[in-house]
Structure 1
Amino acid sequence: MTAAPAGMPIRPAATVLAIRPHADGPRVLMGQRGAGAAFMPDKFVFPGGAVDADDALVPLSPGLDALCHTRLSDTNVPPAALAAAAIREMWEETGLMLGRPGTWPGAVPTDWAGFAARGMVPSADGLRFIFRAITPPGRSRRFDARFFMVDAAGIAGDPDNFEGACDELRCLQWVPLAEARALNLPFITEVVLAEAARIMRTGEAQRFVPFFDSSGPASIFRQIP
């Protein structure tokens, strides 16, 4: 793995755990990064990526619920921009849309042109902020990632149709949640999967959102109330 240069910026990012009910237990949408990827090569991950500047301009219909908005309001990145980035990255990497039919109220950002061309506006309805993690120092890239969980019922269209996906993730599939941790995963993905499984198993509201904070010299688990 190539080490990150000193002083590498930590970019805000957003990731989606789409959960799909199944007779044999819930399944989660994952894909495998390419062997030549600069960040986490060969690893199975959830759809996600960095926040773009235009994500702050995107109308969400509807927006985040009040609790998620509050828990995401501790940085200079607007909560709605994080939610929009999660929706956009899922669309780009899987071809699946979290949105509703509608007309955009203004100019459509370039990265959202394909989404709007389908007559859809992005919807944060059902997105649940469940985890935050900052990539530790020494990695080829560093992100301050927020992980959202969403019911696959919120996907517009066929959840098995990945024809619109870009080539960033291969082997896109709905993985049984109980088997996902046996895949080739980044450490933090294992931790987030365990939290998602706990939420699904207990059905309880989170008293806090776990935060794996590696912004300093040591990684610390914090709690976002």
Structure 2
Amino acid sequence: MTEDKSRLRDAATIILSREGREGPEVLMGQRGAAAAFMPNKFVFPGGAVDHGDTSVPLARPLNARCEALLSAYPQQTTLPGLTAAALAVTAVRELWEETGLTLAQPGDWPDAPGGDWEKLAARGLLPDAAGLQFVFRAITPPGRPRRFDARFFLADASALTGDTDDFSDAQDELSHLQWIPLRRVRSFDLPFITEVVLAEIGHHLEGRSRDEGVPFFDNSGPVPQFRRII
């Protein structure tokens, strides 16, 4: 049976930030010209939840506030067993696959993991969600070749294991991986939703954060709605 890739899929995206010479900077890479979803655009690491993400253990869990916000405004999902923890696992996995960088802590796996988790387990590491902050949610509009219900997480680069400029373990989905100063990021070729996310989370990245809930660009129905998850 052929997979319907236009169906709405749960996804997680991660915005890594650090302080650079020009102020706050974020990690982004460029999607390939032949990509079905957002070709040539500069994006944050991210992707759809895999079935295996629902059973991957965490070294440290999400904080309670983050987990509560992720559970608000639930949408119908095609993935049984989806949890806030699974979304966090997806964010860590996508970061690892697309950049080679790890949000992890020392720990023992209860069972032998499969796929790319094998490399992390061989280093005695478990994915770590303690440093993740849920900052945005967006559903891709109908009619696109790929549709995602994406949760965006923000994490500081200080939580990474290893060199923040070492992308040698990255797979080839993103090219031109680089830390981009926040003040110059809008000069890059960005998807519309990425520009919206950057505008909404600017106060987080510049140290002016207040707990005002999480912006939610909701295209699940016939009329787009901009909500705030509180």
**Secondary structure in 1 matching 2:149:** strand
**Are positions 1:106 and 2:111 aligned together?**
yes
Partner of 1:38: 36
Alignment match, 2:174: 169
Partner of 1:89: 94
CA contact (8 A) 2:46 2:94 kept: yes
1:131-189 CA-partner distances (Å, limit 9, x unpaired): 00000011110000000000000110001000000000000000001111111010000
Other-structure match for 1:66: 64
Q: Which residue of 1 aligns with 2:13?
A: 15
Alpha-carbon distance, 1:47 to partner? 0.3
Matches within 5 A, 1:51-200: 51-74=49-72, 75=74, 77-200=82-205
Candidates 5, 10, 24, aligned match of 2:22: 24
Task: Output the CA distance in 1 between the equivalents of 2:29 and 2:211.
Answer: 27
Counterpart residue type for residue 52 of structure 1 = D
Q: Distance in 2 between matches of 1:210 and 1:107?
A: 38
Q: Please, what is the CA RMSD of the aligned residues? A: 1.5
How far, CA to CA, are the matches of 2:213 and 2:109 in structure 1? 34
Flag structure 2 segments of 5+ consecutive residues without an equivalent.
none
- In 2, the alpha carbon distance for the partners of 1:110 and 1:169 equals 19
- In the alignment, the residues of structure 1 paired with residue 24 and residue 143 of structure 2 have an alpha-carbon distance, to the nearest angstrom, of 35
Q: CA deviation at 1:73?
A: 1.2
C-alpha deviation, 1:202, in angstroms = 5.2
Q: Check whether the contact 2:13–2:151 (CA below 8 A) recurs between aligned residues.
A: yes
One of 206, 211, 222 as aligned partner of 1:217? 222
AA matched with 1:21: E
In the alignment, residue 64 of structure 1 is paired with which amino acid? L
SS at match of 2:20: coil
In 2, Cα distance between the equivalents of 1:49 and 1:67?
23
TM-score of the aligned structures, taking structure 1 as reference length? 0.94
Query: Within 2, Cα distance between the matches of 1:104 and 1:36?
Result: 37
Return the alpha-carbon distance in structure 2 between the equivalents of residues 42 and 113 of structure 1: 30
Scaled by the length of structure 2, what TM-score is found? 0.92
Code of the residue aligned with 2:137 in structure 1: it is R
Q: Separation in 2 of the partners of 1:156 and 1:201?
A: 23
Q: Which runs of structure 1 show a deviation greater than 4 angstroms over 4 or more consecutive aligned residues? A: none
* Larger displacement relative to structure 2 (200-209 or 119-128): 200-209
Worse-matched range after superposition: 122-131 or 102-111: 102-111
User: How many residues matched?
Assistant: 220
The question of whether the paired residues in 1 share the 8 Å contact of 2:112 and 2:118 is answered with no
User: Of residues 46, 49, 60 in structure 2, which corresponds to 1:48?
Assistant: 46
Alpha-carbon separation, structure 2, partners of 1:82 and 1:56: 8
